[in-house]
Chain A
Amino acid sequence: MIELSDVSFSYPEATVLRGVDLHIAEGDSVAIIGPNGSGKSTLLRLLCGLAPKFSGRYRFDGEELNAARLADARSAKAFHRRMGLLFQDSDAQLFCGSVYDEIAFGPRQMGLCEAEVAGRVGDLLGLFGLERLESRVPYHLSGGEKRKVALASVLALNPDAICLDEPMGGLDPKTKHAMRKLIKSLNASGKTIVCATHDFEYVDGLFRRAVVLSQEGRVARDGPYPEVLADREFLMAMNIV
């Protein structure tokens, strides 16, 4: 589904990703791990089309994805519908006047009738346990509630793949467990999951694969999650633990 071949990306002041090769099959679940500044968030943004000026090749579902394709509004929108991103800072993702409107934003854009929109919103409120917050303003919710609303608003588009940027960051243990169960359910239902994370304690058993980025932004290792995480020496050498 996702194929990166020799992809590099630079900001004006620094090169963040170098020669990244990454292949993710449909339905796979991959953890992206690395020290701070290794380019995890940048990689997720690139996968979601927010960093179009990269070098190398990116194929999504067999089709080339590049700056030209992302510059075409129709192609970009069709792609964004299939690839969702949960930002590290939930405040960046919430801008509507109520939780209902926040989750309904995407389906309304898609042109669904209000009954279908209400159906999707109702289902997601139930899935995340947010029913009592339906008319609340997202800005004033707690960190965990905001994270759930943000994820619900992304899922409302029914993406095929979801990139999660530190989904456990700032959450209490109970909410982390709930988030973990949710991610497992989504992957079990067929969604492709790509997740940048530091919270090894709470994501154990969630991912089939782990891709380790070095400080220089290269793929240092790509293998089965339990194997990679068991190699403490390697993780220490990478400044991850």
Chain B
Amino acid sequence: METVPEWLLPEREPYAPRPDKGRYLEKNVLSILGTLAALREKPGAGRDRELLRPELALISTFLAVLLVSLSRGWFFLETASAFEFGCLCLLRGGIIARVLKKVLAAGVFTIAIFAPAFLIGRGGGVPALCCKVLLAVLAMAIFSAATPWHSITAAMASLRIPGTLVMILDMTIKYISLLGGLLLDMLCALKLRSVGRDDRKVSSLGGLAGTLFLKSKDAAETQFRAMECRCYSGNYIMKPRSSYGWREAALAAADIALLGAFAAFGIAR
């Protein structure tokens, strides 16, 4: 049996940590945890599983954001609000809460950024601008919260986006989860050993990120070899989705109505 050095025997004196500024480790842990939680949450579980064909949801979202951006006047913005809140109210309470939290945060930030425009005499357009920004954030938040990520990549495939690009997107999201988990463990390990003052914080974080890069590179090579072993030929084929139903028809009708409202009220005259 190896002899344990004397200093490794149980200490009698309490330890007083040296003071250190900043809580960057805690911030990082929370940030990564939030990302992983967002990926782990399954909005598609249970009755909300793919309420809609995701490519239609993506097109509708893009259309809403574009028309809001192009529009003039308040009436169309009200119409767009009705459209978006109408979509929001169909979702589960937990998703609604998440979406509204995001929109609220965006709202506070937007007002803080654009309110000073009043001081330079250019505040006239700010209320409409803030409304547009919030409607865009709401549309994107509803789409991302209500659509499982694998459906988003499937939507891209349905929209005839090249299979290789879709595979890259799929792989990106999967590895955000995998590498994110590793990064979280590394941040926790660093936090556990940060028992005093770290005079080289950026160097420590750089070591973490550098290790993450090396793991990414190794993972990429391993992934490629695994793909080769399974006869990857450059094609990424995704299973065709189910057919269109009444929900898709309803959304398409709502999109047409929104376009009509834009044509009637949203264009500057």
Residues of A within 8 A of B (CB): 12-13, 26, 45, 48, 50, 73-74, 77-78, 80-82, 84-85, 87, 89, 91-97, 105-106, 109-111, 119-120, 123-124, 127, 139, 153-155, 157-158, 160, 181-182, 184-186, 188-191
Contact = CB atoms under 8 A, between A and B. Distances in A.
Interface residue SS majority, chain A: helix
B14 interface: yes
Given A26-B10, A158-B7, 11 more contacts: A12-B41, A13-B40, A50-B192, A78-B17, A93-B186, A109-B194, A109-B195, A110-B195, A160-B10, A182-B2, A191-B8
Contacts of A80: 191-195
Nearest to A96: B207
A106 B193 contact: yes
Interface in B169-191: 182, 185-186, 188-191
Nearest to B4: A189
A204 B2 CA distance: 19
B237 interface: no
B2 to A, nearest CB: 5
A191 B185 contact: no
B196 interface: yes
A109 B198 contact: yes
Interface residues of B, number: 43
A125 B37 CA distance: 39
Contacts, number: 124
B10 A74 contact: no
A92 B7 CA distance: 26
Nearest to A181: B1
Contact of A153 (B8, B191, B193): B193
Contacts of B198: 109
25 contacts: A12-B37, A13-B41, A13-B42, A73-B20, A73-B23, A77-B17, A78-B195, A80-B194, A89-B182, A92-B188, A93-B186, A93-B189, A95-B211, A109-B18, A111-B196, A111-B197, A123-B8, A139-B211, A155-B8, A157-B195, A158-B8, A160-B10, A186-B4, A190-B9, A191-B10
Given A73-B20, A92-B182, A127 B5 contact: yes
A109 B65 CA distance: 50
Given A96-B207, A123-B5, A185-B4, A81 B194 contact: no
Contacts of A158: 7-8, 11
Given A91-B182, A188-B1, A105 B196 contact: no
